[in-house]
Amino acid sequence: MADGGPERNRQVPHNLQSLLRMAVEAGAASGEGSAAEPMPQERRQWLQEALANAFSGPVDEVQQIKECLQCLQGELGDSVEDEEEEERREQALDLLADLCENIDNAADFCKLDGMRLLLERYLERPEAELRWRAAHLVGVCSQNVPFVQEHALALGAMGTLLRLLDRDHNETVRVKALFATSCLVREQEIGLLEFLKEDGFSVLMRAMQSDVMKLKVKSAFLLQNLLLSHPEHKDTLCAMGMVQQLVALLRTEHSSFHEHVLGALCSLVTDFPQGLEECRAPELGFHELLVERRRLVHTQEEFQEELEFCERLLRVCFQDSPEESPGMDR
């Protein structure tokens, strides 16, 4: 599908946040040359029109939601003639995501059957641009809104999102599915139960083993947070071999991702004897790995948190301390 150039996603802003973002984007685009170069006349005219429309009167956001949903309904074919319609639907999903940052709008979106439309029609569309926008919208609506979370879960959102996270061929779709999953599972007991039912921890582990760095980092971060807020599931994770798999990830090429892996391991050993025992297993070689990693990062400012995790694990699992390691000029 053709890109459509910079005009493609231009919309009339419906609130100050949207307007500011559009103004910044316009300013950034106009500064591609010299810093003193004036904004092109066409772009200036567009921005002036956006300002006039934004402050011409109150915006009925519920009506905007209804109009977006009307745009999203109906069948979308696969022919070239449907490209413009697909673009309109992408824009409708973008606008809904902006509108549903407001909790009341997110609730209204669900009451208007928008969540069902996303789950039944858009999360598994053949067009990746529609899939990732739909997943993003599920997450935006669900953040810290129990009514929306429960509504989405009752419609089967968790299973669909985890399948996208695990199997979709598009990286952005997988990242957005993880975002939506996180919004449904954190601080939501029903969401956690659905996550466990769908073997969500195994899906997170496979995501951490992927080649997509953003997916690896966000998956490890979610795992770490779930361990902190739900320590009762450490038994399940140890039974899955999570300690061994996390240590194996630390043996891959060093990156910022390892900080979150070490954080998850810290959570696994805290107040949990089985986690300690598994980390101490001689065949795992975890002590040597931690000592080498501490040596590698101790002089690098950007890895200070990773260093702290290493030292904590050495102290908790092996009773080591920095003083016991000569040559550590801190």
- Rounded to the nearest 5 percent, the helix, strand and coil shares of the chain are 70, 0, 30
Share of the chain above pLDDT 90, in %: 72
Q: Which residues contact 145 (CB under 8 A, 6 or more apart)?
A: 103, 106, 107
Is the pLDDT reported for residue 169 higher than 50?
yes
Q: Is the pTM of this model over 0.85?
A: no
User: Could you identify the residue written with the tokens 């030292």?
Assistant: 311
Which domains does the chain show, CATH number per domain?
86-198 (1.25.10.10), 232-330 (1.25.10.10)
Give the pLDDT band (50/70/90) at residue 226: very high
Cα–Cα distance, 106 to 99 (Å, whole number): 8
Who has greater pLDDT, 58 or 327? Answer: 58
- 89: closest CA among 131, 42, 61, 152? 131
The predicted-structure confidence for 135-167, as pLDDT tens digits, reads as follows 999 999 999 899 999 999 999 999 999 999 999
User: Could you identify the residue written with the tokens 């297993």?
Assistant: 281
Give the pLDDT band (50/70/90) at residue 82: confident
The predicted-structure confidence for 240-285, as pLDDT tens digits, reads as follows 999 999 999 999 999 989 999 999 999 999 999 999 999 999 999 9
Q: Which residues contact 37 (CB under 8 A, 6 or more apart)?
A: 30, 31
Token couple for 111: 């009451």
Q: What is the mean pLDDT of residues 80-91?
A: 82
Predicted pLDDT of residue 9? 42
Is the pLDDT reported for residue 1 higher than 70?
no
Token couple for 269: 């050993």
